[in-house]
Structure 1
Amino acid sequence: MSRSGPVGVGFIGTGMISNTYLENLTKFPDIDVVILGDLNTELAKSQAEKHGIREWGSADDVIAHPDVELVVNLTIPAVHAQVSGRAIDAGKHVWSEKPISVDRESGRALLAKAEAAALLVGIAPDTVLGPGVQTARRAIAHGDIGEPLSAQTVMQYIGPDIFHPSPEFLFAKGAGPLFDMGPYYLTTLVHVFGSVESVAAVGSKSRATRTIQAGDRVGTTFEVDVPTHVSALAKFVDGGVSQSVFSFDSPMVKMGVVEITGTEGTLVIPDPNRFTGEVKITRAPAPAAIMDPAVWEDVPITGVYAERGLGVLDLARAARNGGRPLASGELGYHVLDTMVAIDEAVTENRVVAVDSRVAAVPPVAEDFDPFAATLV
């Protein structure tokens, strides 16, 4: 049945991250958030009342709702593929928080199921669709740093157990600094360099248990199942290399470091966990000034600013207009494949090939306006 007007959206999972999604999606004219669902239906009700959503209930209620065309899956990583698969079985498009799944097999199966049903899958992060990363991409495409050669990214701090009231899932399989924060940085690198060809990595775990330091469960101890510090090298199919640090072990905070070096200069991309920020370029100094501090040029930010939810909107418009989402399931799977390969490189002490490939991701159009009503 052909539909018109805003795309009906339902949420499965109404935890902490749902707030920022709801704050934005309820402002986009092309989106109508119909219902919120959660294992804890009282939490779903509370979030619905807070954000002015008219219905709430369970995951089953969301999946069965006739007005829901697109399900936003904000569950924990271990059940991402399962919940997304149920939504696809019910004929819904799916936007899932990252990662697409916690293993390659279920990720591939999910994409195959969606393709067979002629449905679309979108995978976070959508921060890379914001004006910050997109302005940087336009500068690179313009040749402002010449041919991109290499990249360095850093994400390190002491870990989410210091602020999250229920951080256990962030230290379980499918999370840790690599799987939790890696998608922001690796997705940005794939936007710039294309598909990853192979990786090498080392990792460590600072301690076997962690203690919750915020919320009602302060003092509760839990086990750590994954490396909490990972250093990774990547080689890209079309040329280029990168080195990345992902850590929950450092009292010294370095977050949002993304530097792309080309034949004519180095470009700093804003924090890929944010939608905007400063884009700067420095060029090779004269020999006499080699030890002087870099001289930075500001690149003016272009594009309409919005927050989390851009990917859902882009997916919704693609579903109606017959296009493909920019933050696609295929891109999400390639990033998962890369992270699993990095994890294998850590545990097996070898260079690991990344078998999947993803087509070059088109840039966001400069006139993309999330606050415009385009679906009639």
Structure 2
Amino acid sequence: MATIAFIGTGFVADYYMTTLANHPGLMLAGAWDREPARLDRFSTFHGVRAYGSLDECLSDPGVDIIVNLTNPESHFALNCSALEAGKHVYCEKPLGMTYDEAVKVIELAETKRLTVCGAPANGLSDALRLTAQLIEAGRIGTPRLAYAEMEDGPVFKDNWRDWRSRSGAAWPGLHEFEVGCTLEHAGYGLSWLVALFGPVAGGQAFSALAFPDKGPGTEGRTLAADFSVGCLSFESGVTARLTCGLAAPRDRSLTIVGDEGMIVVGDLWDDRSPVHLSRFDEKPPLLQRLAGRFERKRGRVLPLTLTRGKPVRYPFPPSASSLSAFPSRIDFARGIAAMAEAIGTGEVPFFSGRRALHLTELALALNGGIGAFEPKSRF
């Protein structure tokens, strides 16, 4: 049993509360937030203890892991404070707002012999497990190319000001526009890519503010890039492209092309996303063949998109029974549970330490659109 405490009770905290039920080995001691009204609303709704201050939370001798759910600009300072208090840290992305900050967090943890893990937990999903099994079994031959999409649709044109979490916390849309969708979303694609293909050797990054006018309430604000694309070269030989955006039609898919076939993962935000497999030496499914014949006969493209290949049945039962509502069908608490289990057995959690630093460095590079880059971090 590992005891944890939440710091930050905003929109994302309810995702963690919903999925905490999947992990009986985790016990929530309480929560703290710098906004008393938000903390009271969260603690009352979920029936959890509300700490009176940050110091009270960090000094609680019964807490093993601090779960940092504050805004990105607060991550670095809070991570360091928690480590100085002798606590392990599970941090929402990123570890810090600069590479140097992230390095200091990891080095402090190593000095203190403590563990720092980084979100997101979708890199531990059932869908990734299935995809990895297909690759390891040689179903598509050697992976060569990957396309990861993190397009969230024209969010700023939606009624985002009315979005609320289960406990009533507002979605921090304005803040996300100011920080940038890449820092918020690139990790969902990067965690998959790094888990499947290992570290990145180098890449090219580009980002832009394509829509400077995000509507009422954003006037006069300094907004971050709402589009980014990165081309990544992995040490394993795989080449990948990752896009992030807040305007193009929603697409959170991953396509992996190998020598002998292709895997398409429908939604990286879905713990058990549909996974399709196609091989170059096999006939496509009947519907895809009929659609191809129709297009060739009529000389035009059909106004629909069929996922290439056949759906793969999951050979193992679901790992999570409680997930948040669509679209965030991620077991958010799984990352904390995996961390606690590894610490308990003396092992190194997968998304911890230098690997967590590597993911943060990649996200920062893509967000900054810095052109050619070679990661300094290695694992």
Give your verdict on TM over 0.5. Answer: yes
CA distance in 1, matches of 2:121, 2:318: 14
RMSD of Structure 2 on Structure 1 (CA): 2.3
CA distance in 2, matches of 1:71, 1:356: 24
AA matched with 1:258: L
Report deviation, 1:338: 1.5
Whether the 8 Å contact between 1:145 and 1:262 is mirrored in structure 2 is: yes
**CA distance change for structure 1 residues 220 and 205 in 2, over 3 Å: closer, same or farther?**
closer
CA distance in 2, matches of 1:287, 1:296: 9
Tell me which residue corresponds to 1:331: 355
Question: Which of 199, 204, 214 pairs up with 1:200?
Answer: 204
SS of residue in 2 equivalent to 1:56: coil
CA distance in 2, matches of 1:85, 1:327: 18
**CA distance change for structure 1 residues 229 and 325 in 2, over 3 Å: closer, same or farther?**
same
AA matched with 1:127: N
**CA distance change for structure 1 residues 36 and 161 in 2, over 3 Å: closer, same or farther?**
farther
**Structure 1 position 257 matched with structure 2 position 253:** yes
Whether the 8 Å contact between 2:122 and 2:192 is mirrored in structure 1 is: no
CA distance in 1, matches of 2:28, 2:351: 20
**CA distance change for structure 1 residues 273 and 101 in 2, over 3 Å: closer, same or farther?**
farther
Q: Given the two structures, how large is their TM-score scaled by the length of structure 1?
A: 0.84
CA distance in 2, matches of 1:88, 1:242: 35
Tell me which residue corresponds to 1:374: none
The 10-residue stretch of structure 1 (32-41 or 290-299) with the greater mean CA deviation from structure 2: 290-299
Report deviation, 1:243: 1.4
The one-character-per-residue Cα deviations of 1:61-120 (angstroms, maximum 9, x if unpaired) are 211212111100000111111111111100111101111111110101101111111111
Report deviation, 1:285: 5.2
- The unaligned stretches of length 5 or more in structure 1 are 1-5, 213-218, 359-376
**CA distance change for structure 1 residues 294 and 29 in 2, over 3 Å: closer, same or farther?**
closer
Tell me which residue corresponds to 2:221: 223
Tell me which residue corresponds to 1:309: 333
The one-character-per-residue Cα deviations of 1:218-274 (angstroms, maximum 9, x if unpaired) are x46452432111122111112010112211122xx2321100001110101242223
- Structure-to-structure mapping, 1:80-91, within 5 angstroms: 80-91=75-86
Q: Given the two structures, how large is their TM-score scaled by the length of structure 2?
A: 0.83
Whether the 8 Å contact between 2:200 and 2:375 is mirrored in structure 1 is: yes
**CA distance change for structure 1 residues 270 and 61 in 2, over 3 Å: closer, same or farther?**
farther
AA matched with 1:52: G
- The unaligned stretches of length 5 or more in structure 2 are 162-170, 294-305, 321-330
CA distance in 2, matches of 1:92, 1:319: 12
Whether the 8 Å contact between 2:272 and 2:318 is mirrored in structure 1 is: no
The 10-residue stretch of structure 1 (289-298 or 310-319) with the greater mean CA deviation from structure 2: 289-298
Tell me which residue corresponds to 2:38: 43
**Structure 1 position 106 matched with structure 2 position 101:** yes
Whether the 8 Å contact between 1:270 and 1:276 is mirrored in structure 2 is: no
Tell me which residue corresponds to 2:326: none
CA distance in 2, matches of 1:109, 1:25: 29
**CA distance change for structure 1 residues 321 and 161 in 2, over 3 Å: closer, same or farther?**
farther
AA matched with 2:52: G
Report deviation, 1:329: 3.4
Whether the 8 Å contact between 1:12 and 1:38 is mirrored in structure 2 is: yes
Count of matched residue pairs:
340
Report deviation, 1:169: 2.1
**Structure 1 position 279 matched with structure 2 position 293:** no
CA distance in 1, matches of 2:133, 2:220: 44
CA distance in 2, matches of 1:341, 1:27: 34
